[in-house]
Each structure stands twice: as C-alpha cells, then as structure tokens.
C-alpha cells in the first residue's frame, strides 16, 4: 500500500493485481502487460520477472477476485 498518493481525492492507494489469465481476444490489447514489460525493460526492480498468468482465482477466504474482462462481466 502506498501511503503518500499524489491523487487529490485519496490519501493512499493499493494495487491488488498480481497476475492475470487471458480470457478473451481483447486481452491482446492489454495495457497492463505492455506497461509491465516497459517497466521491466527500463530496469524497474519491481518488474524484474516477466508477467506470469495467475494460477487460479482466490477463494472467498483468500480475498477478492477482480476481472476486467468483458466476457467475465457477461457470465
């Protein structure tokens, strides 16, 4: 969690994303994967390892599974 956000309407931010699973043709235009690859190429230490697919969605006890896929929203 980042405690000193520059976003005017919040004090802190948190990014829950740790991986993804490509689920539709729209995933070929994924901005997050391109950004992660760019940050890795410029030497950002948080992106040393290449992106990896998530193995499975977490259970209700482990947390919340988020999906930005339009296909997932329709199911």
Question: So what's the pLDDT on residue 37?
Answer: 81
pLDDT in tens, 20-75: 777 888 888 888 788 878 888 888 787 777 666 655 544 444 444 555 555 544 44
pLDDT in tens, 15-28: 665 567 778 888 88
Question: So what's the pLDDT on residue 73?
Answer: 47
Nearest to 51 by CA among 68, 36, 70, 65: 36
Within the chain, where are the H helices? 31-41, 70-74
Single pTM value for the model: 0.40
Question: So what's the pLDDT on residue 17?
Answer: 58
């Amino acid at each position: 969690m980042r405690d000193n956000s520059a976003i005017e309407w919040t004090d802190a931010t948190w990014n829950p994303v740790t991986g993804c699973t490509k689920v539709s043709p729209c995933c070929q235009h994924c901005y997050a994967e391109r950004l992660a690859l760019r940050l890795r190429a410029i030497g950002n230490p948080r992106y040393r390892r290449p992106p990896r697919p998530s193995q499975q969605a977490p259970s209700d006890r482990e947390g919340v599974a988020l999906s930005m896929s339009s296909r997932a929203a329709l199911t």
